[in-house]
Every structure is written in structure tokens, then in C-alpha cells.
Amino acid sequence: MSLTILAVDDSRTIRDMLSLTLKQAGFTTHLADDGVHGIEVLEGLSPPPDVIITDINMPRMDGFGFIEAVRNIEKYRTIPILVLTTESGADLKQRARYAGATGWIVKPFEPKKLIRALQMVTG
Amino acid sequence: MSDDDPMIEIRASFFVECEELLESLQDGLQTMDDGAADDETINVVFRAVHSIKGGAGAFGLDNLVRFAHQFESVLDGVRSGNITADRNAISTFFQSGDILADLVRAARDDTESDTERTQSILKSLETILGHDSNEVVEEEIDDFQPMSLVMDLGLDVGGESDLVLSELPPPHMPVFEDGYTINFIPDSSLYVSGNEPLHLLRLLREMGQLEVICDTSSIPALSEIDVEKSYLSWTIHLTTDEDQEAVREVFDFVADLCHLTISGPGSSASPPPPRHLYPPYQP
């Protein structure tokens, strides 16, 4: 399984860790540091990434706004989107789901759980 | 971590980022103190603390995570309008920023921080939060266990061959003598969310021996098909050494988007999860 991932997070540390983990799993990773940047990077990728991973709390455009913006672009309507968050409560999941999220990963993420979540949305 | 461990570099980068975040925090608090804060100011302050907590958790910096979590909870209250950032509160926030900076530097330099002062400010934050937050912190921290990152994934991510699905609907429910029997009826919203039953079937296949029956009896005539609707359902028999929790975990992302029953070892008489815990996404 070789996947292309777009990871969106305003924390440089988390971006670095995602990049390292995904690279070690043999995946190609593209990075963005907020929702607005995420949309820009996404629209520059052809073919589109297999999965998008996004943080929630970000400047300019947060994760909820980013997911809604992605889902409003026809060609990305069903692309898997995983929410990366430090909160694991039902409220957060409900809001993420309502915005159009496919699933979630709780930070700090264990590499195995991250890869498992990717498998759950890509087979 | 060995010398060539890339995590060493990321850890160093984390502490540099912390200094930048602490500066943003300080600037934001000053703007609040000047009475010139808007919604974005409190968002910046919140995100600074939130990001420090996120990175600290990845490196197992327990004290930093614990304090940042409490600080973040109060700031979230301010952000949502449940807590008023009056003069006293802002004074506590400035002190909390100082404690956070001390904890960051103690973690970076592997030195001790001022535990007594930290506890005192934690108490002040707790008072602002308006309840005994220790219980909440303990409970929520359970969901946020710091861990070391082991990069040996040990996962078999291969497996290219597709499943062979029997497409004939069973005349009645088949009887299996061992293993789990899973009835899986996706709602249309499952597909809209970006989930896909085939991926879940592949994961189940990796757990043991799988027998899959796809019920196609609900598919209408071609002229009546709505491509946005879900017409297929599955009866799955899985023979595996895994426990029921592991089987259920495969459906974690779709539990609210389908009708799911799992019977077999470890089954209880409890009803299946609600079909629409969350409102389906509407594009």
C-alpha cells in the first residue's frame, strides 16, 4: 500500500512528526499549516491525495471550515478526511462528522494507530 | 533515542516552536490586558497553549501536558463565552504563561520546575474554571497518554487481492457454529462521509477466516436507482482469535452511520448502537 497524504496542522512539531511517521511507512506526504494553505496545496495536487489528515484548532481557517470547504468541491466530496485532535470527546467527533469528516486520530498519535486509521479509510 | 534518531531533531524543533508560541501567548495576553482583544486574540492565545500541549504529549512531558491542559480548559471557557476574562483572570493567565514557560524550559534542559508555584497557579485556574477540575483533568488526560514513538510499525500493509463476495442474498440467515457473525447495513451517509465498506471487509479479512454474503435484494430497477443511496448490506462470518472489541474497532469510524450487530464470543444482550448518533453530513 503506497498512499499520498495531505497533512494540515499549524504546529510545526506535529507536521514534522506526521511527516516522519508517514515517510517511514512508505507514504508520500504533502504538508500545509492551516486550512487556507491546505486548500491551496490540495488544489495543486494531481492526482488528489488518497487521504487528508487535518488538525482542528488552526489560524485563518480551522479544521471544521477546512473540511467543509473540501467537501464543497465536487471532486473531493468523498475523499477520506481524518481529524487529528487532542480532544477525543463526543462533541468534537460530532462536530467533525457534521462537517464531513471520515474518522479521527487522537493526539499524541501512536504511529501504529495512525497507520491503522489510514487502513480503515483506504483498505 | 540514538544519535541518528530523527526524533531528537524534532524534539529540538519543538522547543524552538514553544518559544515562538510563548511569545504569541504573551502578546495575546497583553492585548487582552489592554482591553483591545477580539475573538481572534483569544483564539491565538488558546492555540498557543493547545499546540504546546500537543507537542509535549508526543514527547511524554507529563508535567507540561498536565498544566497546559488545565490552562487550555480555562481559555476554552473564555473562548466559548462561559468564562469572563476579568482583570483577576488575566492576571492569573499571565502567571500561567510564566509557569508554562518555566515548564517548557525545565523539560528542554531536564531541570526541576517550581512545583509549589505550579500547584498554586493550577489551583487559581481551577477556581476560575469553577469546579474541582482535578477529576476532569485526570479523566481527560487518560485520553491523552504521552508515549514514546516507536517507529517499527510491524504492520502488514500489503494484500492487493480483492475479496470475492458472494452476491446471492441468503434465503434466510445462515447459521455459523463458531466465530463472529456480523450484520452490517450501511446508511447512505456512510458513503458520503468518505467511508467505504470494502475497506472494512479487507481489514476483517486480515483478522482471520472470512465468509461474506452481500445482500443485493434492496437494489431497485436501474431506472429507479438513486446513486446517492445505499442498497447493499452484508452478513459476515469471521473466525478469528481476536476478541470482540478488536472486531468492533474495525467499525469505529462508521458506528453512527450504519446498523451493526456483532454476535459471537463476548456478545452481550445490549442493543446495537443507535443508527444516527450524529446527523448525517449534507453537502
- Tens-place pLDDT, residues A16-75: 999 999 999 999 999 999 999 999 999 999 999 999 999 998 999 999 999 999 999 999
> Residue B1's pLDDT band (boundaries 50, 70, 90)?
low
Smallest CA-to-CA distance from B14 within A22, A112, A58, A15 is with A15
- Determine whether the interchain pair B10/A20 forms a contact, defined as Cβ–Cβ distance below 8 Å: yes
Q: Are A36 and A81 in contact (CB under 8 A)?
A: no
Chain B hits for A58, Cβ within 8 Å: 47
- Determine whether the interchain pair B193/A100 forms a contact, defined as Cβ–Cβ distance below 8 Å: yes
Q: What is the pLDDT of residue A89?
A: 67
- Determine whether the interchain pair B44/A94 forms a contact, defined as Cβ–Cβ distance below 8 Å: no
Q: What is the pLDDT of residue B211?
A: 94
Q: Nearest residue on chain B to A80, judged by CA atoms? A: B194
Chain A hits for B143, Cβ within 8 Å: 87-88, 106
Helix and strand numbers (H, E) in chain A are 5, 5
Burial of B25 (0-12, 13-18, 19+ CB in 10 A): buried
| Contact residues, A window 14-43, toward B, CB-based 8 Å cutoff | 14, 16-17, 20-21, 24-26
Q: What is the pLDDT of residue B283?
A: 45
Output B178 or B257, whichever has higher pLDDT. Answer: B257
CA distance B116 to chain A (A): 27
Query: For the whole model, what pTM was predicted?
Result: 0.78
Give this complex's ipTM. Answer: 0.90
B258-263 β-sheet, strand order: B208-215, B233-240, B180-186, B258-263
Chain A hits for B155, Cβ within 8 Å: 112, 115-116, 119
The stretch B186-206 carries a mean pLDDT of 94
Q: Nearest residue on chain A to B163, judged by CA atoms? A: A123
Q: Are A84 and A90 in contact (CB under 8 A)?
A: no
Q: E strand or H helix at A18, and its extent?
A: helix A12-24
- What HEC string does B193-260 produce? CCCCHHHHHHHHHCCEEEEEEEECCCCCCHHHCCCCCCCCEEEEEEEECCCHHHHHHCCHHHHHHEEE
**Residue B257, amino acid:** L
CA distance B260 to chain A (A): 16
- Determine whether the interchain pair A12/B17 forms a contact, defined as Cβ–Cβ distance below 8 Å: yes
Q: What is the pLDDT of residue B277?
A: 42
| pLDDT at B190 > cutoff 50 | yes
Q: Nearest residue on chain B to A108, judged by CA atoms? A: B58
Q: Nearest residue on chain B to A13, judged by CA atoms? A: B14
| pLDDT at B3 > cutoff 60 | no
Q: Are A31 and A46 in contact (CB under 8 A)?
A: no
> Residue B207's pLDDT band (boundaries 50, 70, 90)?
very high
Any CB–CB contact under 8 A between A67 and chain B? no
Q: What is the pLDDT of residue B135?
A: 46
Within 8 A by CB and 6+ apart from B105, the residues are: B111
CA distance A77 to chain B (A): 7
- Tens-place pLDDT, residues B144-170: 444 444 444 444 444 444 444 444 444
- Tens-place pLDDT, residues B33-88: 999 889 999 999 999 999 999 899 889 899 999 999 999 999 999 999 999 999 99
Q: What is the pLDDT of residue A108?
A: 80
Q: Nearest residue on chain B to A22, judged by CA atoms? A: B151
> Residue A84's pLDDT band (boundaries 50, 70, 90)?
confident
Which residue in A86, A87, A93 has the most chain B C-beta atoms within 10 A of its own C-beta, making it the best mutation to test that interface? A86
**Residue B11, amino acid:** R
- Determine whether the interchain pair B253/A104 forms a contact, defined as Cβ–Cβ distance below 8 Å: yes
What average pLDDT is seen over chain B?
A: 82
